């Protein structure tokens, strides 16, 4: 259970897409539904500033992804358990349990990959799609080249077969997770001590499921993305992407990558760091508002 909550939000547990799996979610505000999905190594708490800004206009739903935070952490008995397809179906099921058959969806980092898959798999359900600081899984592996790929060493570590990553990370979880929180924030004050401690606590309690989530992105998620690419499947809804200028750092055109998947695209760069929802909540909230007008 989280040690910090979103003020004014109700906390509920709702069924996921597979038998017996429940997701924890914070729900607040009123109006058209908007689901916000967190990234790594975080929980729904990363949306605390953005959710507050948008709750006056929307029913805001902030779940912990399966395997993270206060949500269930099923054992990865097969690749589907943490496939983004399954995690996307979780989100659809959670929204449906709250009475919403259609909703806007915004995701950051890992949550953005889940949101991307939800947009492809459930175009009749996801009305608008917002993405923060990723490219799709298939493209992510394609753009990581040479020594510059060292920035994503954790992707390669957690892609290894079961056993080694879990043991290495679990042996000193704070040593593993802490540097991401420190290095990826352009403004360290955006992650105050109690919030940082909550992220570390939640991550240390979820090492096997976090690794399984990442391992899926080196296996079954690639298969699903490639199948959609081969079929010419694209995102049917308006899409907004905000990210750091990773293209300049790694030598690719991020807007072009996204345009191949999203014909109705608003792509924008930010000077905020990776944790932009916490570093620049007004900028992120404005992007979401503009997206929902399209």
Burial-class residue 168 by CB neighbours within 10 Å (0-12, 13-18, 19+).
middle
Cα 196 to the center of its chain, rounded Å:
18
Q: Look up 122 and say whether it is catalytic.
A: no
Burial-class residue 147 by CB neighbours within 10 Å (0-12, 13-18, 19+).
exposed
Contact (CB, 8 A) for 108 and 37:
yes
Distances (CA, A) of 290 to 115, 157, 284, 294: 18, 38, 10, 7
Written as six digits, the tokens of 130 are 């917002």
Contact (CB, 8 A) for 120 and 231:
no
Q: Which residues of 178-201 are buried (b: 16+ CB within 10 A; e: fewer)?
A: bebbeebbbeeebbeeebbebbbb
Q: Look up 109 and say whether it is catalytic.
A: yes
Contact (CB, 8 A) for 247 and 254:
yes
Catalytically annotated residue among 109, 221, 225, 228:
109
Which residues participate in catalysis according to the annotation? 109, 274
């Amino acid at each position: 259970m989280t040690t910090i909550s979103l003020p004014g939000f109700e906390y509920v547990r709702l069924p996921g897409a597979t038998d017996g799996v429940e997701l924890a979610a914070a729900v607040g505000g009123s109006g058209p539904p908007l689901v916000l999905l967190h990234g790594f190594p975080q929980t729904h708490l990363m949306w605390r500033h953005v959710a507050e800004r948008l709750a006056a206009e929307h029913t805001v739903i902030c779940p912990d992804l399966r395997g993270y935070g206060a949500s269930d952490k099923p054992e990865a008995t097969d690749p589907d358990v943490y496939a983004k397809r399954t995690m996307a179906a979780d989100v659809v099921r959670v929204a449906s349990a709250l009475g919403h058959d259609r909703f806007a969806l915004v995701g950051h980092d890992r949550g953005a990959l889940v949101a991307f898959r939800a947009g492809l798999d459930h175009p009749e359900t996801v009305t608008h799609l917002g993405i923060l600081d990723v490219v799709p899984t298939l493209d992510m592996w394609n753009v990581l080249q040479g020594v510059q790929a060292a920035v994503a060493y954790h992707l390669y570590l957690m892609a290894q077969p079961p056993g080694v990553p879990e043991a290495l990370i679990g042996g000193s979880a704070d040593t593993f997770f802490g540097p991401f929180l420190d290095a990826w924030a352009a403004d360290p004050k955006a992650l105050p001590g109690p919030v940082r401690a909550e992220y570390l606590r939640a991550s240390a309690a979820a090492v096997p499921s976090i690794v399984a989530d990442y391992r899926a992105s080196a296996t079954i998620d690639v298969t699903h993305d490639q199948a959609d690419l081969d079929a010419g499947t694209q995102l049917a809804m308006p899409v907004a992407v905000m990210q750091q200028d990773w293209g300049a750092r790694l030598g690719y055109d991020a807007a072009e990558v996204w345009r191949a998947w999203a014909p109705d695209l608003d792509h924008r760069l930010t000077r905020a760091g990776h944790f932009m929802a916490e570093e620049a909540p007004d900028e992120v909230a404005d992007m979401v508002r503009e997206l929902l007008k399209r």
